Structures are given as structure tokens and as C-alpha cells.
Amino acid sequence: MDTIKGLEAPSEELNGESLRVCIVHARWNREVIDALVAGALAKLHEAGVKKENIVVETVPGSFELPLACSKVIAGSHIQAASNEADLLGGLSFTPKVPSRVSTPAPVSSSIASHSGAFDAVIAIGVLIKGSTMHFEYICDAVSHSLMKLQVDSGVPVIFGVLTVLTDEQALERAGIAKGADKGHNHGEDWGNAAVEMGLKCKRWV
């Protein structure tokens, strides 16, 4: 036996057609990020999550993920985008909100809160260790903050942050390694985890 590691499939079939999911991803190490986001999206679609109920937001680096996810969960990003449109001269703005959320369009800045807009959030980042302690600090801060956010908010926040020592490890975990063995795309697992946790947390309220 080579390894005992890995994720066993859930015992029930998971139908994500009622779910609204937000992916928030960093832009550092973009090649790997893009593969991971594509893997997560593929599994969301496969599970039946509707295209119009999936929102993708980006932030600069992994360090920004916890705050962005907390804003997305609170619905504040919709308000912010609306204000941005006002600042741009009142351009008509259609918010990126899943269609089941009752939001009039175009949005006005009177919208106070969209709490409950998403059933699950997937935070995706790629942290590759360098020669300083930067990596350790960010890994620690981000993982703790994302865990706290999901426990405090009750909304599943899927930990889609690769914390790896080398570029090769990052490529392998995104299924795009250079050799014959491409590795495994962990983004797919995160998509599946979002569907499973989104459904279970709806049931467990």
C-alpha cells in the first residue's frame, strides 16, 4: 500500500441545484489559481449548482481572503459595488448576486444587507514558501481567520488555500504538474466540499 491518505466519497448523492456558492480567489501564482478555480467550478456544475448561482470574486493575495470572504458572507460587497457604480457617475449596475436573492436591479445604494446570499464560500489561494517568515505568518493568519469566520457566521468557508514548499508541489496539487503524472486538482475536492457542506448546513439549521 503506497498511502492511506485521501477523501472518501459521501454516502449520499449530493444535488446542488438549490445552492448559491461564491468563490473568492487570490491572484498570486495565477497559473495554479486558474487551474484550481476551474476544478472547483467543474465540480459545482457537475453537482447541479446553477451557473447563475455561482459568483467569482478576486483579491490580490491570500492575506486578503478572510476579509473578502467575511464581506461576501455579510453581503457588503454588493453594497460596495453599488456605491462604486454611483461614484462612476451613476452607471447602471447589475450586481453579481445569485438570482434567488431578491434584489431589484439596477441596484441602489439603499440596499442595507444581503445576509444569507450564499450557502457556501470557497476561499482559494496559493502560498509558496519563500526565504522569509512571510509564508508562515500568512498561512497561520489566513487559516485561523477562515476557520473563525465559518464557525462565527455559520456559513461553510471551504479552505482552498494551498500551502506548499515548492512550485512543483503547487502544480501537482492543481493537476498541472510538468511530468506524465499531472497530480490531482484539489480545486475539485473544494467544489465537492462546498456542495456537501452547503447542503448539510442548510439541513442542520
Interaction site with ligand DLZ (CB under 6 A): 26, 28-29, 60-64, 125-128, 130, 134, 138
Nearest distance in Å: CB 53, ligand DLZ: 26
CA 43 to chain centre: 13
Local structure of residue 64 (DSSP, 8 states): G
Residue closer to ligand DLZ by CB (options 122, 199) is: 122
Choose, from 25, 134, 144, 184, the residue flagged as catalytic: 134
Angle between helices 65-74 and 134-153 (to 10 degrees): 20
Nearest distance in Å: CB 130, ligand DLZ: 6
Nearest distance in Å: CB 100, ligand DLZ: 31
Residue closer to ligand DLZ by CB (options 127, 197) is: 127
| Catalytic-residue membership of 77 | no
Residue closer to ligand DLZ by CB (options 67, 91) is: 67
The helix (run of H) or strand (run of E) holding residue 193 is: helix 186-203
The Cα–Cα gap between 39 and 110 comes to 37
Residue closer to ligand DLZ by CB (options 95, 125) is: 125
Local structure of residue 185 (DSSP, 8 states): B
Nearest distance in Å: CB 167, ligand DLZ: 10
> In this structure, are residues 42 and 191 in contact, taking their beta carbons and an 8 Å threshold?
yes
CA 136 to chain centre: 21
Residues annotated catalytic, as ranges: 134
